[in-house]
Structure 1
Amino acid sequence: MAKRETLSLDELLERALVKAEDKPCNVPNNWLHFYFTSLIDIQGGTQPPKSQFVSSLQEGYVRLVQIRDFASYDYIVYIPAKDNLRYFEEKDILIARYGASLGRICTGLSGACNVALAKTIFPHQVFHTKFMYWLLNSEWFQNPLLSISRTAQAGFNKEDLSGFKMPLPPLSEQQRIVDLIELLFEKLDRAKELVQNVLDSFEERKLAILHKAFTGDLTAKWRKENGLYHDEEWKIVELEKVAIAIDPHPSHRTPASYESGIPYIGIAECNYRTLEIDFLNARKVSPNVLDEHISRYNISDGDFIIGKIGTIGKPFEIPTSRNYVLSANVILIQAKKEHIIPKYMFYMFQSSHIETQLLEGLKATTQAAFGIKKVRKIKLNYCSIKEQEEIVRILDNLLENEQRAKKLCDVIDNIVHMKKSILARAFRGELSTNNPNEESSLELLKEVLRERVG
């Protein structure tokens, strides 16, 4: 067995403290910067086989907490309690190590964590728990974490965190920082709730208008003025009769990444508020993939995509310029313009009429997916081209308020940015809460390091 390294207090301090010339920013004189792993440890969870999962708590079982539990309690699972599991309590802080939730921080749960989560371990005589929670949520932890993580799938381990430079104020200052953060966040959350309520009312109104549009109620007066009758003009048709649904990757194989290649675009890259596509940050694939796609299908004005895996439906109109490749997770919808107006169909895909069919189709499968065969059989409420034109004209006018809703989304984005700014300033000592006469946090550091002197 290797002999444990014995270090003096001065040597431990030298390893723990960030030198003055290496500090990421200026902080009050009674603060310091330390290297993450000199004071903080993480313990990853384990991954028991799914054959052990049960959906209800039984004697001798414990809850297995997964990343999905950070946001939803719809799928709680339990596993046999064993000695090799990583247990944690509600007061403990968990960090997501993999996937799209990489770096997400959670507390308030208890049980055993799976391999995608890590429990944070730190000396409580040095850190208040809530201070640690907000510190891990701040740019001081999140930014370097995203920069060192090799991929969202590869995640991170303890060694990856060793170079992180973290601020440490005195304990009393930690509590004042927490109190002010939570006070300011409470006010911002109330403002966000008010804005969200207005947004929800816009969405409810929009859905109601779309429902009327595709049941014929919106154009009832127009039909009467033109001597037309609903039963004669309206019918239900399957999508494949009036439109083309294209699977961009019929082989179902995701192309390999290719540095400096062509943007690979799915629903995740689509900004529904700005109606822009994030080409810059999209994954890149070989130009040969684009050549193969161009040989199979064209893109015309009014064409749109819908998600078929994960995010189902949610239409997004795409540009005709072919400087990108469509993801394997979307389906391209093209109107047969002699039968249906593209924007009429685009509006319909935003309605509850289509959403209901998508949700019903999902119930038939264990995976959140909606294949192209099902898309081609989606039932559309269909009317004459002239009535379609009238419906599009009315919807364009009535839904102008969507622009106001998008501005409200900007308000919500600003609130998110304000929170990040508050956290950044808090851990630079810029919230005017520090008392310069309080004992330096260096004494806290020495206290815990003395216990490690062998």
Structure 2
Amino acid sequence: MSKKIAKSQEELLQEALVPIEEQPYEVPGNWAWVKLIEIVEKMELRDPIKLQGEVFHYVDVESIDNKNQRVREYKETLISEAPSRAKRGINQDDVIISLVRPYLKNIALIEENNQLAVASTAFYVCRTNGSFAPKFLYNYLRGPVATAYLNKHTKGDNSPSVRNSDFELIPIPLPPLNEQKRIADKVERLLYKLEQAKELVVQTMENIDLNRKSVIVNAYLGKLTEEWRRTNQINESAFDLVMEIQKRRQDDYLSNVELTIKATSSPRKNKSEPDFIPYISHEDSSLPKNWCMTRILDLTECLDRFRKPVSKSERENRPGDIPYYGANGQVDTINDYIFNDDIVLVVEDETFTGREKPFSYIVRGKSWVNNHAHVLRPLGGIDVEYLNICLSYYNFIPLTSGSTGRRKLTQAALNQAPLRLAPLSEQKIIVSKVRKVYEVLDKVKQNCIITLERIECIKESILNKAFKGELGTYDHAEVKAIDLLIENEVGLNYRGQ
């Protein structure tokens, strides 16, 4: 039997290099395209059972902050309860990347030396053999070219993944080691500036939401129209509005009773009649002139008796384009409607404590509402937008009952809730002013969204240019990357193993 002839260093080097036709793009003359497997050490097996102590520090996919590509936490885990996937040894300066759903970009550079750290086998651990600077590879794997390669080689439906053998062949553009460090440093500086800009934009967006709430609260208190009241003569009052609403209610009730009697030709039975005496108060010294305190009951008609929940399975059998609403907005669509009006929905049973969303929202036109939201229709010419302004950030929490996690606002509690009411003419001014402020805030928010998209584009551009030698880091006088490979005996030690 003939003895196998060992390959020469030149042959091994050629196997380490990526063929010209497979190279993603052209790189500077002293760079080289190499396969990942040729520049990393063999992955270390680290069995938690063999570690000292009772616990180890586990890094699984959930441990990664994939927005910032870093380890968010090391999970202290009992060795006796070690998951079967806890097998990968990780050390400082290792680059780890999850090959399970790689499009999520669960990538991190290990920044601390932790001998108790063990990673899941979902990760491929890239440990340098001396041919690459860890931060260089880390940034390359975050970039668009590496992402495209991983997406192309992802297989499977339930848990789409890239095989280790495919990942090991990913082409890596390898500059001289000193240039790698310059590229990594420059990328880090540029991305840090982008991150600072991103934080400012995100903070602006958070301030926009706070400003929305502030505008609504000030509108409800009457502070938004202080100047308007000083410069305009008001010849009507909220008191008159409430009394007019109750008079219409009483007239409508008596008309309906009379029609019922005529239709049945039988005398009325003695039963309790509705109370048409509204609650009106002017005792609150903070009330603006011509305003009053009343109840939600005295301004609206509660339509809860018409709402009806429909299960998800039933909705699937009733496809349509009518919006189906719940406590926090539209849940689904359905083929029929209950309401065909401008109404305000108020949360009935949801998270009240610590809630950031408004407690109410407007629904216009045809709709179906389930039993997790109260349905209110404003009366007496009150604009649906004004009612929503009054209720959006109303302090309903003291009126709720039940556990802290999921409290309930009953219909009775909602109806009896006291409400500050402005005269009808001022209500219209309040709605107009809120609209104008919201238009400005909406434009600012849209500009913020566009800016965030541009930041991401710039980030992609930086990573793209960095690994083409286009960031001003190239030095043609430096030793060639191929010499670096030869110096580290690429293809010899690892292949021998």
Q: Same fold (TM over 0.5)?
A: yes
Q: Does 1:394 align with 2:399?
A: no
Q: Tell me what 1:179 maps to.
A: 185
Deviations along 1:111-159, one digit per CA (max 9) or x if unpaired, are 5455475142233410111111111111122222234334584333313
Q: Distance in 2 between matches of 1:244 and 1:11?
A: 81
Q: Distance in 2 between matches of 1:68 and 1:400?
A: 39
Q: Tell me what 1:202 maps to.
A: 208
Q: CA deviation at 1:442?
A: 1.5
Q: Distance in 1 between matches of 2:6 and 2:314?
A: 56
Asked if 1 retains the 8 angstrom alpha-carbon contact of 2:143 and 2:460, the reply is yes
Q: Distance in 1 between matches of 2:26 and 2:305?
A: 61
Q: CA deviation at 1:164?
A: 2.6
Q: Tell me what 1:60 maps to.
A: 54
Q: CA deviation at 1:25?
A: 0.8
Any idea what SS the aligned residue of 2:104 has?
A: coil
TM-score (norm 1): 0.63
Counterpart of 2:464 in structure 1: which amino acid? A
Q: CA deviation at 1:23?
A: 1.5
Asked if 2 retains the 8 angstrom alpha-carbon contact of 1:102 and 1:155, the reply is no
Deviates more, 1:392-401 or 1:64-73: 64-73
Counterpart of 2:469 in structure 1: which amino acid? G
Q: Distance in 1 between matches of 2:95 and 2:208?
A: 37
Deviations along 1:356-386, one digit per CA (max 9) or x if unpaired, are 89xx999638xxxx9xx99999979878896
Match of 1:169 among 171, 175, 180: 175
Which segments of 5 or more consecutive residues in structure 2 lack a partner in the other structure? 239-290, 321-331
Q: CA deviation at 1:34?
A: 2.2
Q: Does 1:140 align with 2:179?
A: no
Matches within 5 A, 1:185-224: 185-213=191-219, 218=224
Q: Does 1:444 align with 2:449?
A: no
Matches within 5 A, 1:22-421: 22-40=22-40, 60-71=54-65, 77-81=75-79, 85-98=87-100, 102-107=104-109, 108=111, 110=114, 112-113=117-118, 115=120, 117-149=122-154, 150=156, 153-213=159-219, 218=224, 225=234, 226-228=236-238, 229-232=291-294, 234=296, 250-251=312-313, 294-295=334-335, 364=405, 391-402=430-441, 403-421=443-461
Q: CA deviation at 1:10?
A: 4.4
Asked if 1 retains the 8 angstrom alpha-carbon contact of 2:213 and 2:393, the reply is yes
Q: Distance in 2 between matches of 1:348 and 1:100?
A: 47
Q: Distance in 1 between matches of 2:371 and 2:7?
A: 61
Any idea what SS the aligned residue of 2:312 has?
A: coil
Asked if 1 retains the 8 angstrom alpha-carbon contact of 2:58 and 2:120, the reply is no
Asked if 2 retains the 8 angstrom alpha-carbon contact of 1:177 and 1:426, the reply is yes
Q: Distance in 1 between matches of 2:169 and 2:31?
A: 19
Distance 1:134 1:100, change over 3 A: closer
Q: Distance in 1 between matches of 2:304 and 2:33?
A: 64
Identity between Structure 1 and Structure 2 (%): 22
Asked if 2 retains the 8 angstrom alpha-carbon contact of 1:32 and 1:442, the reply is yes
Asked if 1 retains the 8 angstrom alpha-carbon contact of 2:301 and 2:378, the reply is no
Q: Distance in 2 between matches of 1:243 and 1:5?
A: 88
Asked if 2 retains the 8 angstrom alpha-carbon contact of 1:9 and 1:453, the reply is no
Q: CA deviation at 1:243?
A: 11
Q: Distance in 1 between matches of 2:120 and 2:10?
A: 36
Q: Distance in 1 between matches of 2:162 and 2:171?
A: 16
Q: Distance in 2 between matches of 1:352 and 1:93?
A: 50
Any idea what SS the aligned residue of 2:105 has?
A: coil
Q: Does 1:424 align with 2:464?
A: yes
Asked if 2 retains the 8 angstrom alpha-carbon contact of 1:32 and 1:168, the reply is yes
Asked if 1 retains the 8 angstrom alpha-carbon contact of 2:302 and 2:375, the reply is no
Q: CA deviation at 1:92?
A: 2.7
Asked if 2 retains the 8 angstrom alpha-carbon contact of 1:303 and 1:335, the reply is yes
Asked if 1 retains the 8 angstrom alpha-carbon contact of 2:64 and 2:73, the reply is no
Asked if 2 retains the 8 angstrom alpha-carbon contact of 1:128 and 1:174, the reply is yes
* Alignment: residue pair count: 390
RMSD, matched Cα: 5.6
Deviations along 1:68-91, one digit per CA (max 9) or x if unpaired, are 433499987421237964342343
Compare CA radii of gyration and give the structure with the larger one: 2
Asked if 2 retains the 8 angstrom alpha-carbon contact of 1:32 and 1:441, the reply is yes
TM-score (norm 2): 0.59
Q: Tell me what 1:273 maps to.
A: none
Q: Tell me what 1:18 maps to.
A: 18
Q: Distance in 1 between matches of 2:466 and 2:171?
A: 15
Q: CA deviation at 1:423?
A: 0.7
Q: Distance in 1 between matches of 2:121 and 2:392?
A: 35
Asked if 2 retains the 8 angstrom alpha-carbon contact of 1:30 and 1:170, the reply is yes
Q: Distance in 2 between matches of 1:240 and 1:42?
A: 70
Q: Distance in 1 between matches of 2:139 and 2:185?
A: 11
Q: Distance in 2 between matches of 1:18 and 1:119?
A: 21
Asked if 1 retains the 8 angstrom alpha-carbon contact of 2:301 and 2:377, the reply is no
Q: Distance in 1 between matches of 2:465 and 2:482?
A: 21
Q: Distance in 1 between matches of 2:42 and 2:344?
A: 45
Distance 1:392 1:132, change over 3 A: same
Q: CA deviation at 1:424?
A: 0.3
Asked if 1 retains the 8 angstrom alpha-carbon contact of 2:88 and 2:118, the reply is yes
Asked if 2 retains the 8 angstrom alpha-carbon contact of 1:26 and 1:428, the reply is yes
Q: CA deviation at 1:208?
A: 1.5
Q: Distance in 1 between matches of 2:451 and 2:170?
A: 32
Q: Does 1:434 align with 2:449?
A: no
Q: CA deviation at 1:27?
A: 0.6
Which segments of 5 or more consecutive residues in structure 1 lack a partner in the other structure? 49-57, 256-261, 263-289, 322-329
Counterpart of 1:434 in structure 2: which amino acid? Y
